[in-house]
């Protein structure tokens, strides 16, 4: 157990000044560290080759232009060397099928940024899907400065291809918007004191009518200051005005309300369940065992019923999926009248296409011959079309088009080229035994029989996020093609085996995730794939916390650590930016019982003298308004105070992704690879 000083830490954190994100002293410190890193890592030919090789694949003209449906057209945001911020463009699906689609530019982000003197980064568009304008006519475009989560929202005319003068417009904030009709939107945004939660997200939902001030719009729902967020989403899948209000009481629990013509009805469903309403259906994904109407549905089950029947008190629920020890539901995606289930069987995907006919759900199973496959998008407002994206660690992406209910399976629409040499590279799956005996799967991508060599181990282990095989041209170019071995660990805390796999590392059980990752590291050495000196580890965000724990708790297992946009000071994380929203995952540091276990692994509080740490690279972004850059800054300062070998780079732009464009992304990854190659294969 921690001693009394650990449970009652002194208030005078000497590095607290580094939490001043844009403070002159803090930025001067950042510039000094950046200059040191640039001087140390970027001077050689290898760095230039890494950077240029990564940039080449990011900007390659033969990439698959990924699309989203809206109305009769498909839309794409395209970035390349000539358009680093991006071209938002559109074409028809028929044209898209060809080798040279007839693209129409909708908005040139680079031209807009230059004209307005802003470093705009695309954050997406919310389309008007109902009402008298209907179709493709209007959308709300979100643009952020430098890639932050907070964005400016502006109404855009998709006929005139210009922003709407005196249209809907919101200043920079972490806003949520959803169309009600052509002249009204649901909005949650910062309208002054009391409008945002302690996590920095909207607390209120307003019905905002065109031509009025957003602060004067009537509040249709208001949550608690301690909620994570509140938002309303219009449902265009049925006639009439229907919306869902989601009051997130913490990261994993929410109360849902059906809003019809101004009347609110709370849905009687478990607060920790996943809930979706589409047309006449209510879909519930159970995260903990749910006893209802004499039946207990196990965690991970997907249930469906007719909404009207459920509202009338009928609790007859039809299971569409029930998990087993090896198989879990990753997610479900609607078409207009059907449903596609994406399952994971020992972290390998399997798809089931469900159609409703003659009073029952019929399914077609797509096997694993497509590779790791996800639903990229569907045309759920209009028809049964869907797009599937398949890839693997060494399998370039393939985009397939299908129609649910068709006798024919999905056909290839676009196929990406390989961006690195894969001869001799294989993907294998192994299982490591964790400290409590749990079998933890992991994938090894490399050349079998080559003997121990430089190996990069990656992981995440949180928030029920699954790490699945996928083609990564950056890892391919910068690591695999140069002889390295790449490993992905499917540790607890993720969603690879459903909700139970996540809960196994929740709050006070968090160390299970760290024990899993350490077990994989040890197993790699025991199998002769690598040595301790040649083993590097990499992770970002919650994975950055994982890296911080590996550094301070398991330093003897690794030859190098790369830690990106990390969460590291678990004593103050809930006070910084969106940190309060993650207390359901980690715990409340102000609660002595929670701090008792948090203090045992919080990296910032566990830096120790006399312990040899592996060389470490820590990176973040000044514009990250999700995980505060103070975590990274303070950790670097503390490691330096203790004489540890730490390198630091902070990108000024980039938000939580760490980079705002392809040039910045290539530079950031080149730094990481150069650091790793120098450290693991000098």
Closest CA to 371 of 349, 338, 356: 349
Burial annotation 383-392 (CB, 10 A radius, 16+ → b, else e): ebbbbbbbbb
Closest CA to 587 of 511, 506, 514: 506
Of 328, 391, 541, 602, which residue is the catalytic one?
A: 541
Q: Determine which helix (DSSP H) or strand (DSSP E) holds 457, and give its type and residue range.
A: strand 455-458
**Tokens in use for 32?**
């000094």
Q: Please, which residues bridge with residue 71 across strands?
A: none
CB atoms within 10 A of CB 255: 16
User: What is each CA distance from 461 to 251, 458, 491, in whole angstroms?
Assistant: 16, 10, 5
Of 278, 502, 631, 656, which residue is the catalytic one?
A: 656
The question of whether 656 is a catalytic residue gets the answer yes
Distance from C-alpha of 247 to C-alpha of 224, rounded to nearest angstrom: 9
Burial annotation 551-571 (CB, 10 A radius, 16+ → b, else e): bbbbbebbbbbbbbbbbbbbb
Asked whether the beta carbons of 72 and 92 are under 8 A apart, the reply is yes
**Tokens in use for 560?**
């190098």
Q: Mention every residue, 6+ apart, whose C-beta is less than 8 A from residue 233.
A: 178, 186, 243, 244, 246
Q: What is the CA radius of gyration of the chain?
A: 25
The question of whether 224 is a catalytic residue gets the answer no
Asked whether the beta carbons of 348 and 337 are under 8 A apart, the reply is no
- Tokens 């006919």 correspond to what residue? 357
Distance from C-alpha of 31 to C-alpha of 23, rounded to nearest angstrom: 12
User: What is each CA distance from 215 to 31, 171, 312, in whole angstroms?
Assistant: 40, 12, 37
Closest CA to 311 of 273, 280, 338, 357: 280
CB atoms within 10 A of CB 238: 13
Asked whether the beta carbons of 569 and 478 are under 8 A apart, the reply is no
**Tokens in use for 206?**
């307003």
Distance from C-alpha of 428 to C-alpha of 421, rounded to nearest angstrom: 18
Closest CA to 74 of 54, 59, 57, 94: 94
**Tokens in use for 393?**
């660690």
- Tokens 């006519």 correspond to what residue? 137
**Tokens in use for 487?**
């490993």
**Tokens in use for 603?**
């990296």
Q: Mention every residue, 6+ apart, whose C-beta is less than 8 A from residue 114.
A: none
User: Order of strands, edge to edge, in the sheet holding 411-415?
Assistant: 372-378, 385-391, 398-403, 411-415
Angle of helix 511-526 relative to helix 592-601, nearest 10 degrees?
20
Distance from C-alpha of 666 to C-alpha of 660, rounded to nearest angstrom: 11
- Residues found in the chain: 682
Distance from C-alpha of 516 to C-alpha of 441, rounded to nearest angstrom: 9
Per-position DSSP letters for 208-233, written without gaps between them: EETTS-GGGSPEEEE--TTSSEEEEE
The SS3 call for residue 347 is coil
Q: Please, which residues bridge with residue 390 across strands?
A: 373, 398
Residues serving a catalytic function are: 541, 656
């Amino acid at each position: 157990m921690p001693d009394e000083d650990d449970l009652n830490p002194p208030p005078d954190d000497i590095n607290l000044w580094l939490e001043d994100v844009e403070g002159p002293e803090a930025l001067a410190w950042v510039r000094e560290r950046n200059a040191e890193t640039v001087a140390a890592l970027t001077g050689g030919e290898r760095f230039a080759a890494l950077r240029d090789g990564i940039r080449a694949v990011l900007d390659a003209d033969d990439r698959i232009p990924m699309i989203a449906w809206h109305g009769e057209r498909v839309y794409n945001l395209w970035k390349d060397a000539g358009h680093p911020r991006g071209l938002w463009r559109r074409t028809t699906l028929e044209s898209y099928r060809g080798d040279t689609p007839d693209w129409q530019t909708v908005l040139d982000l680079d031209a807009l940024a230059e004209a307005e003197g802003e470093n705009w980064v695309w954050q997406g568009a919310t389309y008007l899907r109902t009402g008298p304008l209907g179709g493709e006519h209007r959308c709300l475009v979100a643009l952020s400065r430098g890639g932050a989560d907070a964005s400016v929202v502006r109404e855009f005319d998709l006929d005139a291809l210009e922003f709407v003068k005196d249209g809907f417009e919101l200043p920079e904030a972490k806003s949520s918007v959803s169309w009600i009709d052509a002249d009204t939107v649901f909005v949650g945004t910062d309208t002054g004191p009391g409008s945002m939660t302690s996590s920095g997200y909207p607390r209120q939902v307003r019905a905002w009518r065109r031509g009025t001030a957003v602060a004067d719009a009537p509040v249709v729902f208001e949550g608690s200051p301690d909620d994570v967020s509140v938002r309303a989403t219009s449902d265009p899948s049925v006639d009439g005005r229907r919306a869902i209000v989601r009051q997130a009481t913490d990261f994993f629990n929410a109360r849902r309300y059906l809003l019809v013509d101004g009347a609110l009805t709370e849905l009687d469903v478990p607060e920790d369940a996943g809930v979706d309403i589409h047309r006449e259906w209510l879909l519930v994904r159970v995260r903990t065992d749910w006893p209802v109407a004499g039946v207990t549905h196990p965690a991970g089950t997907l249930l469906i019923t007719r909404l009207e029947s459920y509202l009338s008190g009928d609790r007859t629920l039809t299971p569409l999926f029930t998990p087993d020890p090896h198989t879990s539901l990753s997610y479900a995606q609607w078409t207009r009248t059907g449903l596609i289930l994406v399952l994971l069987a020992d972290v390998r995907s399997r798809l089931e296409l469900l159609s409703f006919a003659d009073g029952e759900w019929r399914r077609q199973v797509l096997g694993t011959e497509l590779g790791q496959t996800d639903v990229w998008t569907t045309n759920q407002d209009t028809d049964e079309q869907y797009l599937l994206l398949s890839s693997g660690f060494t399998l370039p992406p393939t985009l397939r088009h299908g129609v649910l209910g068709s006798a024919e399976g999905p056909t290839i629409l676009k196929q990406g080229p390989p961006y690195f040499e894969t001869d001799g590279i294989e993907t294998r799956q192994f299982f490591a035994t964790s400290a409590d005996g749990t079998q933890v799967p992991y994938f090894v991508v490399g050349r079998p029989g080559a003997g121990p060599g430089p190996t990069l181990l990656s992981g995440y282990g949180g928030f029920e996020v699954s790490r699945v095989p996928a083609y990564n041209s950056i890892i391919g170019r910068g690591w695999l093609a140069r002889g390295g071995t790449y490993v992905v660990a499917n540790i607890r805390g993720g969603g690879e085996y459903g909700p139970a796999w996540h809960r196994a590392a929740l709050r006070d059980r968090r160390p299970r995730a760290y024990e899993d990752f350490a077990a994989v590291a040890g197993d790699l050495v025991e199998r002769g794939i690598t040595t301790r000196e040649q083993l590097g580890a990499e992770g970002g965000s919650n994975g950055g916390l994982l890296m911080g724990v590996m550094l301070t708790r398991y330093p003897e297992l690794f030859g190098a650590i790369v830690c990106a946009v990390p969460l590291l000071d678990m004593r103050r994380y809930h006070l910084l930016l969106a940190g309060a929203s993650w207390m359901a995952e980690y715990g409340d540091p102000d609660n002595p019982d929670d701090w008792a276990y948090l203090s045992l692994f919080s990296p910032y509080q566990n830096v120790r003298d006399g312990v040899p740490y592996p060389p470490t690279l820590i990176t973040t972004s000044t514009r990250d308004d999700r995980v505060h850059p103070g975590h990274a800054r303070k950790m670097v300062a503390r490691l330096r105070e203790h004489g540890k070998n730490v390198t630091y780079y902070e990108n000024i732009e980039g938000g939580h992704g760490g980079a705002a464009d392809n040039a910045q992304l290539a530079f950031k990854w080149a730094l990481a690879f150069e650091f790793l190659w120098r450290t693991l294969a000098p």
